[in-house]
Amino acid sequence: MKPISLKMPFIMATLFASLAISPGSQARDLAVVNYGGTTGAALQEAFMDPFAQKSGIKIVNIPYNGEQAKIKAMVQANNVVWDVIDSEPQYLVKGCEEDYYEKIDWSKLLNVDDFIPGAVMECGVGIYVVGIVMAYNKEALPNGPKNWADFWNVKDIPGKRALRKVAQGNLEYALMADGVAPEDVYPMLETSAGVDRAFAKLDEIKDHIVWWEAGAQPVQMLASNDVIMSSAYNGRIDAAKEEGYPLDVVWNEGIFETDYWVIPKGSSNKQLAIDFVQFASSPEAQAELAKRVTYGPTNKKTMDLLDDSRTNVLPTSPKNSQNVLYTDAAFWLDHGEELEQRFTAWAAR
């Protein structure tokens, strides 16, 4: 999806003027690190460019693939050249525990009540919410599936299905397909019986699964009718819909995941990084991001600044965020290695 060019509204300029950019906080250009691609371009248009314009500083937009070892090495060597980083939740938890992300009392800088639950953490602030949901081809399934039980129902809904070739996400889907409510999924996975139950459920559809590894693959598989349903990132499906593909998503029982801004410990631009995160956390700035990519804002007031046609496709809209599951980053940090090993062995059989 090509990012949309929009002029920043006056309200954002007014908001920016109210932010205190500390004198002398700028030791060098501000390095903002993220996952690049369409989302990286949208982050630049919505956050980086307006912040740079109003503050007079230069921002360097740096793509990465989540390399935590590199960040940790910077901190340990006292040579931190990245200032603000887009972090997945499990990396946020790990970095905070291992003390290579700054611990900041964000409650003194942001109104925590304005944000969705879990968005404001000791070591980070939520940027956006991604929905990892079920997607389908509307021409193949005009009535559409309704839940993961339908995904598993190969008798009444025959055809190949696609899932990402990892344990994370699939174990959660399997338990929900087996009747476990979203709020009970992680307590169930904390038990060996729950894990066994998830793998047993995956056994039921193993022969009907096509595996994907890159985020673009579900769109390609669905568009070419290689599969009739797939797990997918909501933003990828929305981009395909805008290009005219007959695809849609099922929000019910989706897995939602929040990406966070984190500041590596020892950044010489710490105060400027904090100022940037405050700006990017405002409803006005987040509305500009939501106009460019269909990932959900973490500031709840953002929804008031968007029209219904946009909020209807965002994960965090009230109608799309019912009966969903937020990724438990601490669970996957504690159990991810053993579960991924078991999944890899299971998939290879």
Kindly state whether residues 290 and 332 are assigned to the same domain: no
In this predicted structure, what is the pLDDT of residue 215? Answer: 85
In a domain, 87, yes or no: yes
Region 100-124 average pLDDT: 96
In a domain, 1, yes or no: no
One-letter amino acid at 332 equals W
Kindly state whether residues 336 and 285 are assigned to the same domain: no
In this predicted structure, what is the pLDDT of residue 25? Answer: 41
In a domain, 45, yes or no: yes
Residue with tokens 């603000």: 84
pLDDT band for 300, please (50, 70, 90 cuts).
very high
Kindly state whether residues 84 and 143 are assigned to the same domain: no
pLDDT band for 65, please (50, 70, 90 cuts).
confident
H/E run at residue 257:
strand 247-262
Beta strand 161-164 with 59-63: parallel, antiparallel or unpaired?
Answer: unpaired
Tokens of 12: 């954002």
Q: Is the pTM of this model over 0.85?
A: no
Kindly state whether residues 335 and 232 are assigned to the same domain: yes
Query: How do residues 315-337 score in pLDDT, each as one tens digit?
Result: 999 899 999 999 998 899 899 99
In a domain, 318, yes or no: no
Choice among 19-28, 109-118, 221-230, 259-268 with the minimum mean pLDDT: 19-28
H/E run at residue 32:
strand 30-34
Residue 185's domain spans which residues?
130-256+323-348
Burial of 227 (0-12, 13-18, 19+ CB in 10 A): buried
Examine the pLDDT at 20 and tell me if it is beyond 60. no
pLDDT band for 13, please (50, 70, 90 cuts).
very low
Identify the three-state secondary structure at position 190.
coil
